[in-house]
């Protein structure tokens, strides 16, 4: 089999930062310890400002934040979708407030999945949660105010990527942990170098603000037990999937295109789904605004490599669909289905916490 062709269209800044973060995580340069205290102090001051600006929210609607300590690539959006669907299945009226990365709209606006002015994640969430109200707003507190004014029947609001956001009070925090260790039977969150020297927004102590910890796990792993007074701990397995009735391109050369924070993880998911490595990989910046020229280049490279189908993320699909219309080969969406480890799923755990 021919080696994979990699089309890396990410900016030099993105590629350089990713390379340096990986290198520094293994072996920090000698000068970094001199600057790390200053950057950590600045980060702590900024976080204090954000937390101090939060007010206690009204009793209704109940506000639940879903976030992470790491910037990008933690799987927050699939968790929000899964949680919203689980809560809606109990008869609750659900809304989601998201920042709207990649959009020129400052908001707050109620999102239409077909509105190209809205951010890709906001449109993807709106397309996946047709019965929910989706609000895009850079100022999440302004988005919450709009919801209370326009949609007073909403029972629960999910703040997407809300663990560090300023101003927006919440009743419950759900946190995805990217790194942890188990010590003396207890789970201890871990992080690494903070921005700009690494991908972490804050240190491990930020996990103490959360009421529920979520652990991405392997198929055969189980989460540690919760300890008295500690957060609920749930493990989840991410499984890539194609839409119902669509077969994986087994044995067929395929391409993968994505504009996300962690493209290598998605590419590995596609390889697991298809049973082979992709013939072509195309990487774009997170929240990339694709052009017709980009699609022409993808298809040209793919045709030369014999690609019979392209795979992409749901977030990228909302931007690529109109540009891909009428083109061949097909563009298919790979979703991430979540399966919970533990005595309860996330929706049950959240409702139990909210009712305490």
DSSP for 21-80, written as a single string: HHHHHHS--TTHHHHHHHHHHHHHHHHHHHHHT--PPPSSSEEEEEEESBSS-S-HHHHH
**In the chain, which ranges are E strands?**
5-8, 62-68, 94-98, 109-110, 133-136, 156-160, 172-176, 180-183, 186-189, 212-216, 232-241, 254-258, 280-283, 309-313, 330-341
Distance CA 97, CA 241 (A): 26
Nearest to 72 by CA among 36, 102, 50: 102
Does residue 94 have a pLDDT over 90? yes
* Across 199-206, average pLDDT: 90
pLDDT at 50: 78
CB 338 within 8 A of CB 237: yes
What sign results for the dihedral spanned by CA atoms 9, 13, 16, 17?
Answer: negative
pLDDT at 1: 58
> What pTM did the predictor assign?
0.92
5-13+240-336: which CATH architecture? 3-Layer(aba) Sandwich (3.40)
CB 150 within 8 A of CB 97: no
Percentage, residues of the chain above pLDDT 90: 69
Return the CATH superfamily for domain 56-238+339-355.
P-loop containing nucleotide triphosphate hydrolases (3.40.50.300)
pLDDT at 184: 80
pLDDT at 93: 97
pLDDT at 245: 82
Lowest mean pLDDT among 28-37, 126-135, 258-267: 28-37
* Across 9-30, average pLDDT: 91
pLDDT at 146: 95
- Sorting pLDDT into bands at 50, 70 and 90, what band is 344? confident
Nearest to 5 by CA among 307, 258, 262, 288: 307
Ramachandran angles phi, psi of 85, nearest 5°: -65, -40
pLDDT at 221: 84
pLDDT at 55: 81
pLDDT at 113: 92
| Average pLDDT of every residue of the chain | 91
Distance CA 315, CA 80 (A): 14
Does residue 356 have a pLDDT over 80? no
Joined together, the tokens standing for residue 58 give 């009204």
pLDDT at 268: 95
Q: What is the DSSP string of 250-273?
A: TTS-EEEEE-SS-HHHHHHHHHHH
Domain ranges of the chain: 5-13+240-336, 56-238+339-355
Distance CA 184, CA 170 (A): 32
Does residue 219 have a pLDDT over 90? no
pLDDT digits (tens, 9 = 90+) for 139-192: 999 999 999 999 999 999 999 999 998 889 999 999 999 999 988 878 999 998
pLDDT digits (tens, 9 = 90+) for 275-323: 999 999 999 999 999 999 999 999 999 999 999 999 999 999 999 999 9
- Sorting pLDDT into bands at 50, 70 and 90, what band is 194? confident
Please identify which residue in the block is written with the tokens 């800044």.
13
pLDDT at 291: 96
Cβ neighbour number for residue 55 with a 10 Å cutoff: 9
224 vs 98: which has the higher pLDDT: 98
Does residue 196 have a pLDDT over 80? yes
- Sorting pLDDT into bands at 50, 70 and 90, what band is 133? very high
pLDDT at 222: 84
pLDDT digits (tens, 9 = 90+) for 100-131: 888 888 779 999 998 988 999 999 999 999 99
* Cα 146 → chain centroid: 24
pLDDT at 230: 84
Distance CA 311, CA 168 (A): 36
């Amino acid at each position: 089999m021919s080696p994979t062709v990699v089309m890396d269209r990410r900016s030099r800044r993105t590629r350089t930062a990713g390379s340096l973060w990986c290198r520094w995580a293994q072996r920090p340069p000698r000068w970094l310890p001199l600057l790390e205290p200053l950057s950590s102090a600045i980060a702590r001051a900024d976080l204090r400002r954000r937390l101090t600006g939060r007010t206690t929210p009204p009793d209704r609607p109940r506000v639940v934040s879903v976030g992470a300590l790491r910037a990008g690539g933690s799987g927050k959006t699939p968790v929000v979708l899964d949680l919203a669907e689980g809560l809606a299945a109990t008869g609750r009226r659900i809304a989601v407030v998201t920042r709207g990365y990649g959009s020129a709209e400052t908001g707050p606006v109620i999102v239409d999945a077909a509105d190209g002015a809205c951010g890709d994640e906001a449109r993807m969430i709106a397309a996946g949660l047709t019965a929910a109200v989706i609000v895009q707003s850079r100022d999440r507190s302004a988005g919450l105010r709009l919801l209370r004014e326009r949609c007073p029947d909403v029972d629960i609001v999910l703040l997407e990527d809300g663990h560090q956001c300023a101003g927006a009070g919440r009743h419950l925090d759900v946190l995805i942990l990217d790194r942890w260790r188990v010590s003396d039977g207890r789970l201890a969150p871990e992080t690494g170098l903070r921005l700009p020297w690494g991908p972490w927004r804050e240190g491990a102590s930020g996990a103490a603000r959360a009421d529920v910890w979520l652990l991405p796990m392997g198929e055969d792993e189980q989460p540690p037990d919760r300890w008295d007074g500690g957060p609920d701990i749930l493990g989840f397995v991410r499984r890539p999937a194609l839409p119902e009735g669509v077969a994986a391109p087994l044995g067929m050369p395929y391409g993968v295109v994505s504009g996300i924070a962690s493209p290598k993880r998605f590419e590995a998911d596609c390889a697991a789904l298809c049973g082979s490595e992709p013939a072509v990989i195309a990487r774009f910046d997170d929240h990339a605004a694709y052009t017709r020229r980009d699609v022409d280049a993808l298809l040209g490279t793919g045709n030369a490599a014999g690609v019979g189908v392209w795979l992409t993320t749901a977030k990228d699909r909302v931007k690529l669909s109109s540009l891909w219309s009428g083109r061949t080969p097909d563009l298919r969406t790979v979703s991430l289905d979540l399966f919970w480890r533990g005595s309860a799923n996330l929706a049950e755990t959240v409702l139990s916490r909210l009712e305490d």
